[in-house]
């Protein structure tokens, strides 16, 4: 009998390490590789993270009042650190709150020696917002390897989905193969994302090649 296919990124342990609240604030010092997740509020980041790690814990911690504007760090399998960046660009927060995310996220991204890659989330149904574009541009400037994941694909028919993936690939100047289509409802794309993360973790730090 054939062995069952191996699930990429099996989660054996998940531990909340703490939150980074200001640009100069606490951040993990353990030297474990870090993978960060970015996206505008409501893009489906908590749902994606829960699916990825098969736990409810991440969303619970990151959605605790007071933690939603922080960068939250979780140790996975004593192997790497999952970094949940605050959702940006939420229309209902005031202008001042609105601008807060940039210095915090940007200082984390610029100064992280252990950062191995970013998973940038975009809603498959919508064109990137100005905040999304600013974020993607910033990631390009920093030079960090970036995986783009399109969320909520279950909301479209297969034909609509294929059309949107081509349109977004053209828009972002990427090959459609470079985009991961994801649904937190069906679990589609979970293993593709897990494999992409494993691949980032297996590569030498990108900063060394600069």
Query: For residues 58 and 73, is the Cβ–Cβ distance under 8 A?
Result: no
Cα–Cα distance, 28 to 30 (Å, whole number): 6
Residues in region 85-104 near ligand GDP by CB under 6 A: 87
Cα–Cα distance, 167 to 174 (Å, whole number): 10
Q: In this complex, which beta carbon is closest to ligand GDP, that of residue 184 or of residue 200? A: 184
CA angle 154, 158, 163 (to 5 degrees): 105
DSSP annotation of 189 reads T
Distance in angstroms between the alpha carbons of the first and the last residue of the chain: 47
Q: In this complex, which beta carbon is closest to ligand GDP, that of residue 99 or of residue 185? A: 185
Query: For residues 46 and 62, is the Cβ–Cβ distance under 8 A?
Result: yes
Given 183, 189, 194, 197, the residue binding ligand GDP (CB under 6 A): 183
Q: In this complex, which beta carbon is closest to ligand GDP, that of residue 41 or of residue 207? A: 41
Q: In this complex, which beta carbon is closest to ligand GDP, that of residue 48 or of residue 139? A: 48
CB of 127 to ligand GDP, least distance (A): 17
CB of 119 to ligand GDP, least distance (A): 12
Count the Cβ atoms, other than its own, within 10 Å of residue 60. 13
Given 21, 25, 26, 42, the residue binding ligand GDP (CB under 6 A): 42
Tell me the number of residues near ligand GDP by CB under 6 A. Answer: 16
Interacting residues toward ligand GDP by CB under 6 A: 39, 41-47, 87, 151-152, 154-155, 183-185
């Amino acid at each position: 009998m054939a062995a069952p296919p191996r699930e990429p990124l099996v989660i054996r342990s998940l531990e909340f390490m703490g939150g980074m609240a200001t640009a100069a604030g606490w951040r993990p010092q353990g030297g474990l590789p870090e993978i960060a997740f970015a996206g505008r509020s409501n893009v489906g980041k908590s749902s994606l993270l829960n699916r990825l790690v098969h736990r409810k814990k991440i969303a619970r911690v990151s959605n605790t009042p007071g933690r939603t504007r922080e960068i939250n760090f979780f140790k996975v399998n004593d192997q790497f650190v999952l970094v949940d960046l605050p959702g940006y660009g939420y229309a209902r927060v005031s202008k001042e709150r609105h601008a807060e995310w940039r210095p915090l996220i940007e200082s984390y991204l610029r100064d992280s020696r252990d950062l191995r890659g970013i998973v940038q989330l975009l809603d498959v149904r919508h064109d990137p917002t100005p905040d999304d574009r600013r974020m993607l541009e910033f990631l390009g400037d920093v030079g960090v390897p970036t995986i783009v994941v399109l969320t909520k694909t279950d909301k479209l028919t297969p034909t609509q989905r294929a059309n949107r993936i081509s349109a977004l690939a053209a828009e972002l100047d990427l090959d459609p193969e470079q985009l991961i289509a994801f649904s937190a409802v069906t679990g589609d794309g979970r293993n593709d994302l897990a494999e992409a993360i494993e691949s980032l973790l297996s590569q030498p730090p990108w900063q060394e090649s600069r």
